[in-house]
Amino acid sequence: MSEFLHVLTDHWSLFGQGFGNTVKLFLIAAVGSLVLGTLLGAFRVSPIPALRWFGGSYVNIVRNTPLTLVFAFLVFAVPKLDVDLDYFTAATVALTVYTAAFICEVIRSGVNTVAPGQAEAARALGLTFDQVLTQVVLPQALRSMVPPMMSVLIAMLKNTTVAAGFSVLEAGAIPAYMAEFGEPQFYVLLWIAIGFLILITPLVLLQRLLERKWAVAR
Amino acid sequence: MGMKRVAVFAATAAFAFSLTACGEEGTPTASGGGASGAAPASDTCTSSGVALTADSSAAVSGSPTFDRIKSAGKTVVGVKFDQPNLGYKDTAGKRCGFDIEIAQYVSAKLGVDPAKIEYKEIPSANRETAIKGGEIDYYVGTYSITDKRKADVAFAGPYFVAGQDLLVRKDESAITGKDALKGKKVCSATGSTPIQRVRDEKLTEPENIVEFKTYSECVSQLLDKKVDAVTTDDAILKGYAAQNPAELKVVGQPFSTEKYGIGLAHDDKALRDYVNNQIEAAFKDGTWQKIYDGTLGKSGSPATPPTLERY
């Protein structure tokens, strides 16, 4: 047991730095992908065919590409085009671009749960497309989006570990260091799992809070 | 609609299958045709051109490993496969490099034709276990001799003395050694000892430390000017420089010492003495030099045989 604790206490700064970067990656990519994903979701439900086509193509291309490949593209291929992207930025861009495709689909499915009569009634009252979306449809759609949205965000938090392979010292890079220090891998991985559980807890609590807040009697 | 989809799927599958079939047919012809002269088809290449013939009179009395080799008629050797010009397996399945040729030399001296070597790719973390368990007869693959390891295995050699060095672009003139790294981006394998040394000795700023899973990724970043130096043992770096001598060079100012030995069973003193004698002979008769010049030496960095350390 004491060895288990020592694995953490002897390398406190490494764990701190690793999980610190994981949180930073997550927060930036979460904001980025929520903004981009919402925009794409709006495209997919918009009345303009070109925008619908763009949204659909984005989702089909990005969602079907492995995340590691998105990272590799940004880190190994983009520099060949003389674009300078530092590794942390590349990681946040990769996570944002990838996660946005999933967020877009969550938004779209949420919008689809709102009865068409709602939007028709709003239009009959003379509301514009923007108004219909922001005043009538989205507030109702948000409710059903909460659980899948949290799943996407939790998956993204764990996906940040791919960045370890692309020169970002986050939680996923800790095992490589610890192996070199000769620390038992089992304990190291156990601590990393515990770390992720701790990071995910606030997301789960947030989901519960939002579900309760937006709950309606049907 | 349903029928149409099935048809498309079938066509795609058939196409993919035909591609695979084609690849399987093509490969053996390509590698078979590549074997030079009358040499038997084997999965090894000798870039140094050193001709090795099995020493049929080889005898090591009192060595259990040798007895095992003798009765099996082959040697089982642990190697690395991802270090160009050192311990490498190319896309055609051929094994090349300095360590590989040292392994072949030892095999020939043990009376086994190098074509009959059975190579096993053993990751660094499993080396002691593989030697102790008799899974391999000996191990040749950037295996540093340390006192800690001597408790588990025996070492013949060193057959090469490496040290942490820097790989830079050919036109680099500012990076002359470890003390000229400030403000430069330095790359190595994630969490490896060399990169931790760079961090601990503050050779460059923390934000300039770059880590990838493999050295080849670091080399790719070096060529793309995303990093300024790659650091690890010079033997490994020379291997990459030898692959691309027009664009890469090794600085040649090592700042650590790693003595590479041939890993043997701990208690097989007879075999250790025998292998040591054979290595010493290779140092003296120029075989070692030929192997080096034909592999790592292509990097443009010369080297001379090290001094054997019998213990």
> What pLDDT, in 10s, does the model give residues A146-178?
999 999 999 999 999 999 989 899 999 898 888
pLDDT tens-digit readout, B223-244: 989 999 999 999 999 989 988 9
* Percentage of the residues of chain B whose pLDDT score is greater than 70: 86
Q: What is the CATH number of domain B64-162+259-299?
A: 3.40.190.10
CA distances from B166 to A36, A190, B185, B238 (A): 42, 36, 12, 10
Is the CB of residue B211 less than 8 Å from the CB of residue B187? yes
Inter-chain touch A178–B191, beta carbons under 8 Å: yes
Q: What is the predicted pLDDT for the residue at B42?
A: 58
Intrachain domains B64-162+259-299 and B164-250 with the same fold: yes
Helix H or strand E encompassing B229:
strand B229-233
Q: Which positions in chain A touch B219 (Cβ < 8 Å)?
A: none
pLDDT band at B129, cuts 50/70/90?
Answer: confident
Inter-chain touch A167–B224, beta carbons under 8 Å: no
CA distance B267 to chain A (A): 25
Inter-chain touch A79–B193, beta carbons under 8 Å: no
For residue B24, pLDDT beyond 50: no
What average pLDDT score do residues B282-287 get?
92
pLDDT tens-digit readout, A183-206: 778 899 999 999 999 999 999 999
Higher-confidence position of B286 and A214: B286
Q: What is the predicted pLDDT for the residue at B63?
A: 87
CA distances from A140 to A115, A134, A151, A176, B224 (A): 10, 10, 20, 46, 50
What average pLDDT score do residues A123-142 get?
89
The C-alpha atoms of residue B24 and residue A79 are separated, in whole angstroms, by: 35
CA distance A165 to chain B (A): 6
Is the CB of residue B164 less than 8 Å from the CB of residue B194? yes
Task: Select the residue from B124, B128, B187, B190 to test the A interface by mutation, using most A Cβ atoms within 10 A.
Answer: B190
For residue B52, pLDDT beyond 90: no
Q: Mind giving me the DSSP string for B159-223? A: EEEE-EEEEEETT--S--SGGG-TTS-EEEETT-HHHHHHHHTTSS-GGGEEEESSHHHHHHHHH
CA distance B184 to chain A (A): 14
Q: What is the predicted pLDDT for the residue at A45?
A: 87
Residue A80: which of B193, B211, B224 has the nearest Cβ?
B224
Question: Residues A94-118, buried b or exposed e (16+ Cβ, 10 A)?
Answer: bbbbbbbbbbbbbbbebbeebeeee
pLDDT tens-digit readout, A4-56: 888 898 899 899 999 999 999 999 999 999 999 999 998 998 889 999 999 99
For residue A60, pLDDT beyond 90: yes
Inter-chain touch B224–A79, beta carbons under 8 Å: yes
Q: What is the CATH number of domain B164-250?
A: 3.40.190.10
Is the CB of residue B250 less than 8 Å from the CB of residue B238? yes
pLDDT tens-digit readout, B55-102: 878 788 888 899 999 889 899 999 999 888 899 888 888 888 999 999
The structure tokens listed for B151 are 């408790």
Inter-chain touch B210–A167, beta carbons under 8 Å: yes
Is A22-170 assigned to CATH 1.10.3720.10?
Answer: yes
Those residues of chain A whose CB sits closer than 8 Å to some CB in chain B are 75-76, 79-80, 87, 164-167, 169, 173, 176-180
Residue A87: which of B192, B196, B210 has the nearest Cβ?
B210
pLDDT tens-digit readout, B180-227: 999 999 999 888 888 889 988 999 998 899 999 889 899 999 998 999
Q: What is the predicted pLDDT for the residue at B22?
A: 43
Q: What is the predicted pLDDT for the residue at A217?
A: 59
Inter-chain touch A164–B224, beta carbons under 8 Å: no
For residue B27, pLDDT beyond 60: no
pLDDT band at A218, cuts 50/70/90?
Answer: low
Q: What is the predicted pLDDT for the residue at B35?
A: 37
For A42-182, where are the E strands, in sequence order? none
Inter-chain touch A76–B225, beta carbons under 8 Å: no
Q: What is the predicted pLDDT for the residue at B43?
A: 67
Higher-confidence position of A105 and B46: A105
Give Cβ neighbours of residue B176 (< 8 Å, ≥ 6 apart). Answer: B251, B253
CA distance B196 to chain A (A): 9
Residue B191: which of A75, A80, A179 has the nearest Cβ?
A179
What average pLDDT score do residues A71-85 get?
87
Instruction: Give the other-Cβ count within 10 Å of B106's Cβ.
Output: 27
Domain boundaries, chain B: 64-162+259-299, 164-250
What average pLDDT score do residues A133-154 get?
89
The C-alpha atoms of residue A184 and residue A161 are separated, in whole angstroms, by: 20
Helix, coil or strand: residue A166:
strand
Q: What is the predicted pLDDT for the residue at B299?
A: 86
